[in-house]
Amino acid sequence: MATPSSLPTAFATNSNQAVNVVRPDTTTFLMKGDTYVHSIRRDRIGLLPWTRPPQRLALALLRWPFCFPFVLWFATTGTIIPFKPQIERYLDKPYDHLSILQRSTANAQVQAALAAVPGSTFDSYELPHTSTLAAQILVDNGVQQFRVYVHPQTLQARHG
């Protein structure tokens, strides 16, 4: 392999210009005036980003239509997540303002929720935030989880 000191400098017309000097031993040297800057083996030139053939750029652009639906899906769901409390509050609105004189026990409410979804098991009980809110009980039937709204006084159950 040629060393920087043995390279010809006849190609450098201006000392401020970078000049490629190609040697027959498959090495390309980048010279700036009489100064050796960088050497690249010619068989590795295709791996550098600035020397890639246009086909690689075309292949990269052809991948975008495949990726675009995923990017759109992640952008949409990522935008919705911060508004989850407001969305849940809107969905729970029909069960927010109930007239309740006396609450039944939590155990009775859980039993009413289990009767509303046959073959289910108890998962969790969400405490009501206000005195006029229905009890929210999560039950699981082995395949799917259901949120059951139970009226605390009449024990009427609805799941959605």
Low-confidence ranges of the chain (pLDDT < 50): 1-3, 7-14, 19, 21, 26
Q: Answer for the pair 98, 109: CB distance below 8 angstroms, yes or no.
A: no
pLDDT value at position 39?
Answer: 54
Q: How far, in Å, CA of 64 to CA of 66, rounded?
A: 5
pLDDT value at position 12?
Answer: 42
Q: Answer for the pair 27, 5: CB distance below 8 angstroms, yes or no.
A: no
Cα Rg, the chain, nearest whole Å: 36
Burial class (CB in 10 A: 0-12, 13-18, 19+), 67: exposed
Q: What's this model's pTM, rounded to 2 decimal places?
A: 0.52
143, two tokens: 């395949």
pLDDT value at position 96?
Answer: 83
Q: How far, in Å, CA of 141 to CA of 123, rounded?
A: 10
pLDDT value at position 95?
Answer: 82
pLDDT digits (tens, 9 = 90+) for 53-86: 666 677 777 777 788 888 899 999 999 999 988 9
Short-list 85, 154, 88, CA closest to 116: 154
In the chain, what's the furthest Cα-to-Cα distance?
Answer: 101
Domains along the sequence of the chain with CATH: 4-50 (no CATH), 95-159 (3.10.450)
